Amino acid sequence: MRRSAALVLVILFACSSGPAPQQPQMEAPPPDRTESIPTPPVNPMALAHAKAKAEVARLRAAADANVMLANWGGPYDGVPPWDKVTVDGFAPAFTTGVALLAAEIDVIATNPEPPTFANTVAALEDAGRHEDRAETLFSVMTSNLNTPEVQAVDREWSPKLTAVYDAITFNDKLFARIAAVYAARDTGLTAEQKRLVELTHDRFVNKGAKLNAKQKAELGTINQQLATLFTEFGNKVLADENTWVVLDKPADLAGLPASLRASYKAAADERKLAGKSVVVNTRSSVDPFLTSSSRRDLRERVWRAFKKRGDNGDANDTKKLIARIVALRAERATLLGYATHAHWRMFNTMAVDPARAEALMLQVWPAAVARVKEEVADMQKVAKREGMKGAIEPWDYLYYAEKVRKAKYALDQDALKPYFELNNMVQASFWMAEQLYGLTFIEITGKVPVFHPEMRVWEVKDKATGAFRGLFYGDYFARAAKRSGAWASTYRGHETFTGKRLTTITSNNNNFVKGAPGEPVLISLDDAQTLFHEFGHALHSLLSEVNYPNLGSTPRDFVEYPSQVHEMWVLTRPVLDRFGLHYKTKKPMPQALINKVEAAKRFNQGYTTVEYLTSAILDMKLHTMKAESIDVDAFERETLAAIGAPKEVAMRHRLPQFNHLFTSDSYSAGYYSYLWSEVMDADTREAFREAGDVFHTPTADKMRKFILAPGNTTDRTEAYRQFRGRDPDVKALLEKRGFPVSK
């Protein structure tokens, strides 16, 4: 302001004409010395920081006005605004969201203050919330309502979003600050903060933060290409899953129980095929047919349709995509300094080294193969007696295994279904959570928005205190545009570090086949265990006590452990007495039937183990190979032959439809993790058996304290030792599957 006033005086005197009138003599004012004071040098970093903060303020106002980006309002600490979400709203939301995220990162990277945990690592935890909300909503859409319109947005934005996150990783100023905090991590930080710093630093390095500019450009190109290929792979498989085999005549239904006939008829009615039945090309529809149908020709037809997803030489064939994905992954691993993609992907897992994961799989493999030979011999005898010509084929396995089960154990899987009514099993999972962890579930369906009318919602509280813990969404039925399988999603995780406690919102998604209108939905024992499995993931989220969001994600080979162990409670007497009720008589499953299930629980473990291990072993071999190009069909065929895979058992997921591996990097070189987690799962079951009580409170309390609540705030190997007092014993896994245990 003072420089402006001096300028006005000069202008006034210059504009007056003639001699100035006489004025009373006054003491001359002191000279204005402003001009003589040197202007302080401009701090470019401070200017950039101020500019970034102004940009954040501008963009945040726009983001807060966008329903896809804005903080979730409403009850229960805010809920996803499904009633306002539109597909055409995602592109503008992403445009604003990524611009705001970039500005928020600039604020951190250009901060003129010395880097600290608070202004760098914690600030990074707090950045990108608006964009994260939009991406959360969109990820739910791509899994559950993946219409052509959603797919179009996905194709456009997947590579763009990948580029956005690469730009954050490649930001030299940002990483320099992270590295500075990392270097000083032993001073003034809590153990939790120190772990967050270490994980953040290592994640940036693993993703290329230390590469030079040329290498970063190459890596960015690879990542964007992969993002496009991942989307394309998922869409092609989904297209093949949205097909079905039509059962035209009553004879086509031979061997099927009434409940299954009703389900297949309902699926046909949904597809406007009046008077027919259809087997939809998803596992929840196919496996029951293969188990029950006495029509061998139709079993083969249904099996081939299912196993040939993505492998029909047509527009939906995925083999060229796989070859390109594998080549790009190998190129990226080399660029980042890793021997193979598997070494890169496993850097932060419990196994760490691909050789350790492969060693565990090969430890189990011989016993599984030997058991398959025994199972096939038993089935071949039955098939021969029934007049079947030729050897057992993959489409015969489930059908004749069921016959052997009935003969050996007098156990008919269809006799179990009347006791596994879907609503009862949902309530059973809630009761399990109450007994183990003191959680209560109160249905609030209709009180909050949902993305599909079939969805249900529950409020979750701590029984002892009444404290609100979060929301649980259930989406149980198959539909067009929904990917197959079962999964859990976390819409919002627990955190406290900003001073405000955020509560969990989590969901389970299944593909159960609906019955006829008004009829109960009866599910198999396997389906019931799947339901409890996914609910285990939900409990892991709901019981979280982490303070920082990025400590909520555990290593890939740990994350399946809490879900697998919760399958155990399905067949416990307390659960069955309350919820395993016959849908007609309302009587609990009789002990005689449970005894048969227990006697037969190791039955068919050869098939189950080989089916899984072939997929897991091929995943690891595919991602540790050094070949520059791959013939997918030849690789699959030759590798199966090399490991001696029984021809009667197909891979659970053949490569052309292996969504775990090729719709993201998430499970690539990581499908072994189910077995790795099962070692801990089996050993944990032993802990409850040793205690003599399936709801043993001290054991459950320790599981909550050390396994579920901490997330990744502590090393997970050490956490298991704290829970069990030692490392997990692989013998428990072998015994669980009924395989020989070496002395």
Which tokens in the block code for residue 77? 């600490």
CATH code of 654's domain = 1.10.1370.10
pLDDT of 287 reads 95
Residues 423 and 406 in one domain: no
89 within a domain of the structure (yes/no): yes
Residue 534 known to be catalytic: yes
106 three-state secondary structure: helix
Q: Which domain holds residue 276?
A: 244-307
> Does residue 680 lie within any of the structural domains?
no
Mean pLDDT, 10 residues at a time, the chain of 743 residues = 33 34 43 57 86 96 98 96 97 98 98 98 98 98 96 97 98 98 97 98 98 98 98 97 96 95 93 95 94 98 98 98 98 97 97 97 97 97 95 98 94 92 98 98 98 97 97 95 94 97 97 87 94 98 97 96 98 97 96 93 96 98 90 97 98 98 97 97 96 98 98 96 96 93 71
**Measured distance CA(613)–CA(358) in Å, rounded:** 10
Q: 557 and 427, same structural domain?
A: yes
Neighbour-count burial for 133-164, b at 16+ CB within 10 Å, e otherwise: bbbbbbebbbbbbbeeebbebbeebbbebbeb
User: CB–CB of 231/158 below 8 Å?
Assistant: yes
User: Do 181 and 251 sit in the same domain of this protein?
Assistant: no
Q: Where is the domain boundary, 538, 561, 586?
A: 586
Q: Which of 534, 560, 611, 678 is catalytic?
A: 534
For the chain, give the number of residues.
Answer: 743
CATH number at residue 177: 1.10.1370.40
Decide which of 534, 551, 586 is a domain's last residue.
Answer: 586
Whether residue 503 is found in the same domain as residue 473: yes
Give the domain-ending residue among 671, 686, 702.
Answer: 671
Give the pLDDT of residue 39. Answer: 65
Same domain, residue pair 290 and 326: no
- Backbone φ, ψ for residue 664 (5° rounding): -170, 180
On whether both 296 and 152 belong to a single domain, the answer is no
Structure tokens at 468: 């609100």
| Judgement on whether residues 661 and 620 belong to the same structural domain of the protein | yes
For residues 303 and 347, state if they share a domain. Answer: no
The answer to the question of residue 24 being in a domain is no
CA 344 vs CA 606, 669, 698: distances in Å:
32, 9, 39
Determine, yes or no, domain membership for 151.
Answer: yes
- Domain membership of residue 579 (yes or no) is yes
Q: How far apart are the first and last CA of the chain?
A: 89
Report pLDDT for 6.
32
DSSP-based three-state secondary structure for 685: helix
**389 and 465 housed in the same domain:** no
Q: State how far the alpha carbon of 658 is from the alpha carbons of 106, 331, 485, in Å.
A: 39, 21, 12
Is 200 domain-assigned? yes
Is the Cβ–Cβ distance between 236 and 317 less than 8 Å? yes
The pTM (predicted TM-score) of the whole model is: 0.90
Number of folded domains in the chain?
Answer: 4
Same domain, 362 and 248: no
The answer on 388 and 333 residing in a single domain is yes
| DSSP string across 380-433 | HHHHHHTT--S---GGGHHHHHHHHHHHHH---HHHHGGG-BHHHHHHHHHHHH
Q: Is the residue at 533 inside a domain?
A: yes
The pLDDT of residue 18 is 38
Answer yes or no: do 73 and 199 share one domain: yes
Q: Rounded to whole angstroms, what are the CA distances from 188 to 116, 191, 496, 573, 659? A: 10, 10, 20, 51, 44
Note whether residue 504 is domain-resident.
yes
